[in-house]
Amino acid sequence: MIETEEQAKAFCAERCDAEAMERLDRFIALLAMENSRQNLISSASLDHVWQRHIADSIQLLDHVPRETSPWLDLGSGAGLPGLVLAMVRPDLQIGLVESRRKRIEWLERVAEEFGLSNCTVHGSRLELVESSEIAVITARAFAPLGKLLDLSARFSTRSTTWLLPKGRSGAQELSQQPTKIRAMFHVEHSVTDAEAGILVGTGRPVLS
Taking only the tens place, the pLDDT of each residue in 11-52 is: 999 999 999 999 999 999 999 999 999 999 999 999 999 999
**Residue-level pLDDT at 167:** 81
Q: pLDDT, tens digit, for every residue of 54-88? A: 999 999 999 999 999 999 999 999 999 999 999 99
**Average per-residue pLDDT in the chain?**
95
Mean pLDDT confidence for 100-125 = 97
Q: Which has more pLDDT, 98 or 171?
A: 98
Which superfamily does CATH assign the domain made up of 5-202 to? Vaccinia Virus protein VP39 (3.40.50.150)
Contacts of residue 184, Cβ cutoff 8 Å, sequence gap at least 6: 201, 202, 203, 205
**Residue-level pLDDT at 170:** 82
| pLDDT of 109 above 80 | yes
Could you say which DSSP state residue 51 is in? Answer: I
Q: pLDDT, tens digit, for every residue of 123-145? A: 999 999 999 999 999 999 899 99
* Domains in the chain: boundaries: 5-202
| pLDDT of 175 above 70 | yes
Count CB-CB contacts under 10 A for residue 3. Answer: 11
Residues 24 and 15 sit within 8 Å (Cβ to Cβ): no
Mean pLDDT confidence for 75-103 = 97
Helices assigned H by DSSP within 18-166: 18-35, 49, 56-58, 82-88, 101-113, 145-152
**Residue-level pLDDT at 169:** 81
In 124-203, the DSSP E strands lie at: 136-139, 161-167, 185-189, 197-202
| pLDDT of 207 above 80 | no
| pLDDT of 208 above 70 | no
